[in-house]
Structure 1
Amino acid sequence: MSSTLLTGDAATWRHRRTGVKWGLYAADVLPLWVAEMDAEPCEPVVDAVTAAMRRGDTGYPLGDEFVEAGAAYAADTWSWTIDRHRSSPVADVMIGLSELVRLVTDPGGPVVVSSPVYNAFFDFVDMTGRRVLDAPLTPAGRLDAEVLDRAFGEARAGGGRGSHALHGPAYLLCNPQNPTGTVHTREELESLAALAARHDVTVIADEIHAPIVHDGTFTPYLTVEGGERGVSLLSASKAWNLAGLKAALVVRGAESPAGARLHEVHTHGASHVGQIAAIAAWTRGRDWLAGVTAEIDANRNLLARLLSQHLPSIGYAVPAATYLAWLDCRALGLGDDPAAVFRERGQVAFSPGPSFGESGRGFVRVNLATSPAIITEAVDRMAGAVA
């Protein structure tokens, strides 16, 4: 099978990309930060989008086929039967998540997260006028039932506005986990669902990385006992590298306080071309995904070998899912934000650990969806930066 991920050098690849990943920093900086792939496109997606453009099919989306394709993919991949009547398109996962937060929580109320966690969670919670309450993961990157129990209790006790409170707290679940790559087990998710029910907390699950799992089995949150009170958000954007083609799917559990549907206007932001791309990915892009997942698998193990040879003091647990790596750089003595040091001294850009929450201080997040040569050069630059 030919390579899907980048094979040329960074200079060659940079000229093929005009987006933020390759454009934000100077030309001498290797970009291994934002979560998009350096990959050749999925040909079925290219064919579907090209055909749509040629026939002028660039209007407003209907959305039905998009929902059907997402449901079919979930059924085939995870044996998850999605209720199409409780599903609808949204512009992307984070827009859908923010609207759900507004729907199920009160202004100024608490939204619980488990850091280190996807850094956009913090910004979007702030944008909605809510406040973050942290229930950190364990040092091994697992959900901590005791910590969640305390946080949910605190959120419920102080989260409303006395007798004027209309809604309860929410919990934002990252499943699989970004940045650690943890795959939550069914038992962990069932424990979470039981705690959420006890404290009347609505779980909103960001499951955007679900198609890329290397070790273990992805369990959709809505399929566990008690998960029917939650909401899930899915998209083809990460697994098929379609972030610029906006479309995501909201699936509400049978007992979710989000109701049968979001307001109809929330479906308007999903791009028709983005939906066409996602349908092609879910229905005809599975061979492409299998190929790129195998290459990411090789890269996650390559990084482990390189770090053991050149930077053995960095802590690295090989991620069980996603194409992201979470590196513990605290032993290097580079302060709270080692990404700044690596960028300034080594000309390699990673995502700063502190942006993922307090427990991210001293860490960096690395994007593995690039060429082995670039990963090798990045580690060389890191070693040179701390020599």
Structure 2
Amino acid sequence: MSAATPLRALPLDILRERTSTKWRRYPHDVLPLFVAETDFPLAPPIARALARAVEIGDTGYTPPEPGIAAAYAGFARRRFGSEIDPSRVRTTCDVMMGVVEILRLVIEPGDRVIVTTPVYPPFFDCIPEAGGVVERVPLTDAGAGWELDLLGVEAALAGGARAVLLCNPHNPTGTVHSRESLAALADLAADYGASVISDEIHAPLIHPGVTFTPFLDASATAAQVGYSVTSASKAFNLAGLKCALMVTATDETAALVRTLPVEVEWRTGLFGAIAAVAAFSEESDEWLDSLLATLDENRRLLADLLAEHVPRAKYRVPDAGFLAWVDLTDLGWGENPAVKVLRDAKVALHLGPQFGDEGSGHVRINFGCSPDVLREAVTRMGTLASS
């Protein structure tokens, strides 16, 4: 099989016609590399499916069986070697809504829920929304990368925490947790009667040489204690269309998720369902492979650019996704360096402290863009660093 041809990003003048957050949050003189939107054209099968829906006025209610479960089961088999029973899949509006609804099933009000910081900022909001209390167990810096602090997780569970909200692959570090660490996490959850909810929205974006293990596949125990929530929205840039999947692996966990009110499923957007079916189809695999080829080049390009222009920055090339976790502490730009970068370099990066205390001095950079945009953004940062 030949290597995929890298996907070209849309030109800036076209991108600035978009009305999404990435392109309307800041003035046109700012390069936006903050929110997790990408700059590429839609996968052709998705564009065709949506265009046809508009053409025939297919804008009504989402049907009970839009075909997403079967489409995702095929996708998971092709991309991860994972076997999913479509009858154990339900849909909802977005991943965080799915997380909240499952948390409400597995915890009681006031229960503590473990998060492995630095982590996706909405985790800190969705746990209280579900009635829980956030308990931080930071990732361990293992030198070459980050790992789950299993001893810290065990201490939190022994102290009464009732669930773990996992990010796999991890946002913002791009870490892909090993099968062994996921299985060990599952064993701990089982020992203490806790549940694991795994946000796997970045799973389609695994880089070459890295193996992704869905949490539910890590072990038989993981299947028993776990729930997975995912979506096509990150890989295929569909966040505005509102569709996510809640996946289970046993009769018991599936039965629990089926107790959720039908309204939870009604929140699935019809265009989100149509787009997800097209995204998860085999027809979209070629586009996804091209996207991954581009992101693989960009994650390495970012390393070279930072070494050249901002040599005091610390960056580890991520295992997955299009988000880079960069430590700018040594530049002396304060605990929230993205503020200075925006003000003085006109580059919008995600605010590190929003990911937890471990984000002090850090920024998150979205490299899901053209190499030229990435080069210009880092060059601006370099000019700021040398001034």
TM (norm. structure 1) is 0.93
2:242 equivalent to 1:246:
yes
Please report how far the alpha carbon of residue 257 of structure 1 lies from its aligned counterpart in structure 2 after TM superposition: 8.5
* Cα offsets for 1:254-308 (capped at 9, x unmatched): 1439715133221010011211111111112111110011001101111101111
User: 101, 104, 111: which one pairs with 2:103?
Assistant: 101
Q: What SS does structure 2 have at the residue aligned with 1:270?
A: coil
Please report how far the alpha carbon of residue 345 of structure 1 lies from its aligned counterpart in structure 2 after TM superposition: 1.1
Matched with 2:180 is 187
Q: What SS does structure 2 have at the residue aligned with 1:155?
A: coil
Alpha-carbon separation, structure 1, partners of 2:38 and 2:351: 18
Q: What SS does structure 1 have at the residue aligned with 2:190?
A: helix
Q: What SS does structure 2 have at the residue aligned with 1:239?
A: helix
Alpha-carbon separation, structure 2, partners of 1:361 and 1:250: 33
2:350 equivalent to 1:356:
no
**Mind listing any 5+ residue stretches in structure 2 that lack a counterpart?**
none
Alpha-carbon separation, structure 2, partners of 1:152 and 1:360: 24
CA RMSD of aligned residues (A): 1.6
Alpha-carbon separation, structure 2, partners of 1:96 and 1:25: 30
Counterpart amino acid of residue 226 in structure 2: G
Q: Does the 8 Å contact 2:10/2:39 carry over to 1?
A: no
Matched with 1:92 is 94
**Mind listing any 5+ residue stretches in structure 1 that lack a counterpart?**
157-168
Matched with 1:265 is 263
Counterpart amino acid of residue 142 in structure 1: E
**Aligned sequence identity (%):** 43
* Cα offsets for 1:310-340 (capped at 9, x unmatched): 1111110000101110001111111110111
Number of equivalences: 373
2:231 equivalent to 1:231:
no
Matched with 1:70 is 72
Q: Does the 8 Å contact 1:116/1:179 carry over to 2?
A: yes
Alpha-carbon separation, structure 2, partners of 1:27 and 1:192: 45
User: 198, 208, 220: which one pairs with 1:205?
Assistant: 198
Alpha-carbon separation, structure 1, partners of 2:131 and 2:188: 25
User: 245, 256, 266: which one pairs with 2:253?
Assistant: 256
Matched with 1:138 is 140
Please report how far the alpha carbon of residue 7 of structure 1 lies from its aligned counterpart in structure 2 after TM superposition: 4.9
Q: Does the 8 Å contact 1:104/1:258 carry over to 2?
A: no
* Cα offsets for 1:238-262 (capped at 9, x unmatched): 1111111111110123143971513
User: 171, 177, 194: which one pairs with 1:178?
Assistant: 171
Counterpart amino acid of residue 146 in structure 2: G
Alpha-carbon separation, structure 1, partners of 2:324 and 2:20: 22
Q: How do residues 317-356 of structure 1 correspond to structure 2 at under 5 angstroms?
A: 317-356=316-355
Of residues 260-269 and 340-349 in structure 1, the stretch that sits farther from structure 2 once superposed is 260-269
TM (norm. structure 2) is 0.93
Counterpart amino acid of residue 92 in structure 2: V
Counterpart amino acid of residue 186 in structure 1: R
2:304 equivalent to 1:301:
no
Alpha-carbon separation, structure 2, partners of 1:55 and 1:314: 52
Alpha-carbon separation, structure 2, partners of 1:260 and 1:103: 8
* Cα offsets for 1:138-178 (capped at 9, x unmatched): 1232111111111222234xxxxxxxxxxxx2111111111
Q: What SS does structure 2 have at the residue aligned with 1:285?
A: helix
Q: Does the 8 Å contact 1:103/1:258 carry over to 2?
A: no
Counterpart amino acid of residue 62 in structure 1: P
